[in-house]
Amino acid sequence: MAKEAVKKVKLQIPAGKATPAPPVGTVLGPAGINLQDFCTKYNEATREKMGDILPVEISIYDDRSFDFVIKTPPTAFLLKKYAKIQKGSTKGSKEIVATITQAQLTEIAETKLPDLNAYTVEEAKKIVAGTAKNMGIAIEGQE
């Protein structure tokens, strides 16, 4: 018989830098799983993406074992990284704070495609472009 998940937890943790301290410890500690074991496995799995913030979905089972699925970095994080800015516009699309190229937009869309509600890269580019617009990031060749 398959194990039944008792609890599902979603966290955003920097790749390769999970520690038993907050926020990981405060969320997973009460669930009774081995924090050091989780941190070691997470850091091992995310070593090549060092520096990125990665969402992780943790399934905790009744025998205190766990599984986790690592998602792609948040769109806003990727946009800020490619645009080389610390934060988006405070006025949304009314204030342009940076510009990215069509090639960068395509690269972000290809990265995000598995986690987006889209079937093609073109659809994913529209979703990413909408996020960029709301953050005040212009895309070359678009109004």
Domain-wise residue ranges, the chain: 5-70, 75-139
Hey, which CATH number is domain 5-70, 3.40.50.1970, 3.30.1550.10, 3.40.190.10, 3.20.20.60?
3.30.1550.10
The rounded distance, in Å, linking the Cα atoms of 10 and 126 is 26
Decide: pTM greater than 0.85.
no
Can you say how many angstroms the Cα of residue 75 is from the centroid of all Cα atoms in its chain? 7
User: Hunting for tokens 């038993």 — which residue is that?
Assistant: 20
Strand 5-14: give its sheet, edge to edge.
5-14, 53-61, 66-70
- Establish whether domains 5-70 and 75-139 are of one fold: no
Instruction: Check: CB of residue 55 under 8 Å from CB of residue 12.
Output: yes
- As given in the structure block, the two tokens for residue 98 are 């940076």
The more confidently predicted of residues 4 and 70 is 70
Fold of 75-139: Arc Repressor Mutant, subunit A (1.10.10)
Q: What is the pLDDT of residues 42-91, one digit of tens each?
A: 888 888 878 788 888 888 888 888 888 888 888 888 888 888 888 777 77
